[in-house]
A and B are shown apart, each in its own frame.
Chain A
């Protein structure tokens, strides 16, 4: 009796400790970052160009040995972490050094229907002024701020102005629906690929679902580079 009792309480304690450890691990892994808005240095020269036939936004050399695609939603918290923590380091260390090409695809999923799409359009609209990646990072890092608005257009204008762009033009561009079809086409592409979660990265054809830290992503990219 006593030993059965002891084993039972031991099992309860083990379950509790294991559960608490998992939850603690998740918390520690998920400290989210907040994004400061700094004016972009030289907007006109930033290499953010539309790849019209693929509806993605590309950065880096088309001849690079490795192509990294990202499919993400502007209202998905883990995409926000990818854009503020993992992706900037990839861009800096692999893309801007010519080792890899990065292509971002919008994959609005219905976290908040309609709102994600508007954020995606706002980033592409800022791309008209050469500041796609700067706006992308701000929108991803502040998704709760503009995502809670019934009409986020005013926030898009504020972000644009804070980045040193013509904010009004960004807002008008979103209102005009200029990039609506492109965003939906990008979403369609993601669906056709059967992508089931955001963010999903594809490194030279190898899909990686969910957010990874920079070190893990770097290891995968290094592997792809070594395979060349």
Chain B
């Protein structure tokens, strides 16, 4: 239960982080300064910031929102001792993790630029995936809370 709560919190942070990265795409914001070494503008405006014409940040908002809802559903009494939410969480966050690894690859090897808020998102999805996998392997450790 605490694990799914942790996933819900992480997913919520992921939603906010992705929303922040989405702001420039919506034309709502320019950052307050441009870092010489950490180049979010470059990363977030590169070809890798879009997938099938959609901003990656928007996909992030939707994806994290989905994981958030799923974690909350998993916290309902009816699903608390059920493994299906963990399976679904693991599957979805696994796909997201692969996608984020691809984006990390693009940052490091293609763009030669690291975007700190993108890294935050990548760490969040990694943590969610690990928590979901742990949940799959140790279902008996659910506490009543």
Contacts and interface: CB of A to CB of B under 8 A. Distances in A.
B41 A77 contact: yes
Interface string B86-115: 000000000000000000000000000100
Contact of B32 (A11, A20, A211): A211
Contacts of A211: 32-33
A138 interface: no
Interface of B: 5, 8-9, 12-13, 15-16, 19-20, 23, 28-37, 39, 41-42, 113, 144-145
A26 B20 contact: yes
Given A23-B23, A111-B42, A12 B30 contact: no
Contact of B23 (A27, A73, A109): A27
Contacts, number: 84
Contacts of B13: 15, 19
Contact of B145 (A4, A73, A198, A200): A4
A197 B30 contact: no
Contacts of B35: 196-197
A194 to B, nearest CB: 10
B131 to A, nearest CB: 16
Given A12-B12, A26-B29, A73 B37 contact: no
A19 B16 contact: yes
B34 A209 contact: no
Contacts of B41: 76-77, 111
A80 interface: yes
